[in-house]
Amino acid sequence: MSDYHFSEIRPGDRRAVREMETLLKAEGISKDGNLEFSVGLYDEDYQLVATGSAFANTLRCLAVDSGHRGEGLMGQIVSYLVDWQFRRGYSDLFLYTKTSTAHFFTDLGFYEVARGGDKVVFLENRKNGFARYLARLQAETEASGLKGSRIGAVVMNANPFTLGHQYLLETAAADCDILHLFMVSEDASLVPFAVREQLVRAGSAHLGNIVYHYTDSYLISSATFPSYFLKDSETVIRSQAALDTELFTKIAQKLGVTVRYVGEEPFSEVTNIYNEVMAERLSAAEIALRVTPRKAQDGKAISASQVRQAIHDGNLEVLRGLVPETTYSYFASDESRPVREKIQQAVEVIHY
């Protein structure tokens, strides 16, 4: 049997990247556009026989050359990547794979969480990770003391919290006995999560029927839906939207949610595709999708992109007309200086 060795595949190494892409294509896998680290397993002739990559807390683009199956190479690749992730602080790991190869990874210590249609399976390395997350959501709901049969949900990034976000919550809360608000808790936005949460809670404090939840890695995160943050092909976006919606459906069924509220989306291509996929799949699960028209300012729909642009330009007068007083007060304060500087230094602040 050949002696194999590992070698990092760096983005600038065109030959190695080309070999990786060729191997992935041969195994029916499209190279993910969102990769932070890739590694190859090579034989004694320096031929690539297996590969795998990582992005945030996920493993992806895992493949073994068909001529080397049965040699345990996939296990070696996965072990290498898991060790690399642990060293940089990720212990809760997630993995994408084709539906036809999911069973290989269950033998390597991963557990299926959900499927995004017939294209992708989402697995995690914690046996009861998703079950524990669902139990936590239930406990948070019970602790709120809220009761009622009209139960809705909103998933919100709020980067940052605008009058549009506030209007969506007010509209949804008026329609529900209990409104579950899932705040995208991953720090992949210009406004850090700690600040986004602070502004969401402050801007919705007048609504008494909201239960606040974190999304962790189970809703709109780099684990389940990196294209929410990074542009990608429509095919990838659709498969990730299907996966994210499947996860939301499981959550909704646990909490008794019968309607999900979203804002009308005139700006973001990705969100439009996501809403289209979500509408189809939620309907099949007997969960309604209610689209709320965007709140407008001077005839133009309010967006977080406009808010970030106003902060980027240092235009507090424009900012004041787009956000609740609680958001404005924060960004007008010295406390917000690090966040304002981060936005002002950003090359791109408009959500595509």
- In this structure, the answer to whether residues 232 and 259 fall within a common structural domain is yes
136 domain residue, yes or no: yes
- In this structure, the answer to whether residues 205 and 73 fall within a common structural domain is no
Judged against a pLDDT cut of 90, whether residue 347 lies above it is answered with no
Q: Sign of torsion, CA 328 329 330 336?
A: positive
- In this structure, the answer to whether residues 104 and 138 fall within a common structural domain is no
Top mean-pLDDT range of 31-40, 113-122, 233-242, 319-328: 319-328
The mean pLDDT value for 259-269 works out to 84
Determine the structural domain holding residue 312 and report its residue range: 129-345
351 domain residue, yes or no: no
Q: What is the pLDDT of residue 331?
A: 97
Q: What is the pLDDT of residue 237?
A: 82
- In this structure, the answer to whether residues 120 and 133 fall within a common structural domain is no
- In this structure, the answer to whether residues 158 and 265 fall within a common structural domain is yes
- In this structure, the answer to whether residues 89 and 135 fall within a common structural domain is no
CATH (domain of 120): 3.40.630.30
| Other beta carbons within 10 Å of 194 | 11
* Overall number of domains in the chain: 2
97 domain residue, yes or no: yes
46 domain residue, yes or no: yes
The mean pLDDT value for 174-187 works out to 96
- In this structure, the answer to whether residues 144 and 110 fall within a common structural domain is no
Judged against a pLDDT cut of 70, whether residue 214 lies above it is answered with yes
Q: What is the pLDDT of residue 33?
A: 81
Domain end marker among 124, 142, 175: 124
- In this structure, the answer to whether residues 17 and 166 fall within a common structural domain is no
Q: What does the buried/exposed string (b/e) look like for 75-112 if buried means 16 or more CB atoms within 10 Å of the residue's CB?
A: bbbbeebbebbeeeebeebbbbbbeebbebbeebebbb
Domain end marker among 56, 89, 124: 124
Q: Is the pTM of this model over 0.85?
A: yes
Backbone φ and ψ for 284, nearest 5 degrees, come out as -65, -25
352 domain residue, yes or no: no
334 domain residue, yes or no: yes
- In this structure, the answer to whether residues 69 and 148 fall within a common structural domain is no
- In this structure, the answer to whether residues 265 and 162 fall within a common structural domain is yes
pLDDT digits (tens, 9 = 90+) for 290-312: 999 988 888 788 999 999 999 99
Judged against a pLDDT cut of 90, whether residue 185 lies above it is answered with yes
Average pLDDT, the chain: 92
| Other beta carbons within 10 Å of 285 | 13
CATH (domain of 241): 3.40.50.620
Name the pairing type of β-strands 111-116 and 178-183.
Answer: unpaired
| Other beta carbons within 10 Å of 144 | 15
CA–CA distance, 200 with 112 (Å, rounded to integer): 32
Radius of gyration of the chain (CA): 22
310 domain residue, yes or no: yes
